[in-house]
Chain A
């Protein structure tokens, strides 16, 4: 039953999901399904929080070497949740301001810093790995250099602007189209396998 019911639900709602998109008269049913989707997705959030909590509780209990980060996770998660919830219901209070400050002056700079580090990694990677070892590598290197100049072209370099546009619109588009077709076919195949119960890994556990 534990496996049959989810398989039946996946089959039933998978087929219904396709039908409601094709039959305009079933628009009402589609709206109902969307409401249910929101309710079920809310449970996923609860499952996520409980799973994260259990994972870090286990680490703390076993005195894992990275126990410090588990404490940081707990403090950050509960602190932000509490001040966020209280702040939402009492927007005139200090906690709402604290929540916004924590977001604007802790979360945003931390996230942006992580991304900004890419500039340094790319510098190092370009210096150490971008070598004209073979003719294919040389083509890649030349294309990379042209696009890098083209993206910031000015004055005498403006010709690179047009070359970059061509590289992006012709060879890059051709390659990306092939990737997209592959992805599309993969999505269709996986969806059909899930609806028909052939793909069961989403049920979790082993056979």
Chain B
């Protein structure tokens, strides 16, 4: 007796499903398709907040506001979250906003350090003056509370072993009063923790970047204004990337490659510290820096095709289920 078509569909080998999924994910990546997302209000709000800090700093050059970017994720979620931190840092450095970064997990110290210096290098940001990296503040909740009074008492040294009191940036920005925005990028419930301490205790503005699966958890905080904005999943990252790209074109122009190539010259007076980053870009580095400007949008093309593939599978499986049940009822 021949097996009915619905039984065949319902018992499809999962190896076949996996292989098709692999192909569906790979084709847009290899073809370098990009996705052009509509920007959602919760993402635009973060962008506007940083622009607001820039405007404030323009009118108050002696008492500037900075942003604190907390890398609250480990490498497992970096595909979704790295583009967010990169775009936020690009935006801040482009607007000369002082940046403090740290990592909430020991296994993301290198990741946070690499991304911070990687983006700082694109804008000739000087370590200690324009940005600092505080490493892994342990325990994290104590560090978050310490920022309420003077973080230099708790984090006596930065990641590189410099005394916090020796860093010009930390002498201006050492507590929440001079932090305009906290950006927590996380694949866990960490943003909730920032709301509890930094927002509830000190009234600080919090923005979050989170994985798509965690996004639902934080919508209530947006509604109550305990968070000013959210980048949800790769889609949120793609939206922010698009906003930053538009700003970059306005400020730098559309030939980013030429801008980066001419950024450093051997005879300029940039205060080099090769421990932080080496000046100049090789051709390979240039290509990489250009491609990271659309990582999220390239990834979204892949995600779009995989979503549509899963939807087709759901429809197929449900058709099979429906016809099988009908056949059983007839019998």
Contacts and interface: CB of A to CB of B under 8 A. Distances in A.
B128 interface: no
B331 interface: no
A123 B76 contact: no
Interface string A24-38: 000100110011011
Interface in A121-161: 122-124, 126-128, 130-133, 141, 144-145, 148-149, 151-154, 158, 161
B29 interface: no
A52 interface: no
Contacts of A9: none
A38 B138 CA distance: 6
B216 interface: yes
B311 interface: yes
A107 interface: yes
B314 A154 contact: no
Interface string B294-308: 000000100110111
Nearest to A179: B217
Interface residues of A, number: 53
Interface string B243-262: 00000000000000000000
B21 interface: yes
Interface stretch (A53-61, A65-73, A169-177): A169-177
B138 A176 contact: no
Given A91-B275, A127-B314, A172 B303 contact: no
Nearest to B201: A21
Interface of B: 12, 14, 17-18, 21, 25, 35-36, 38, 40, 74-79, 107, 110-111, 114, 138-139, 141-142, 145-146, 149-150, 153-154, 201, 212, 215-217, 219-220, 222-223, 233, 235, 275, 300, 303-304, 306-311, 313-314, 316-318, 321-322
16 contacts: A41-B139, A91-B275, A107-B107, A108-B111, A111-B75, A123-B310, A124-B18, A126-B313, A126-B317, A127-B316, A127-B317, A152-B304, A154-B35, A173-B223, A176-B217, A180-B220
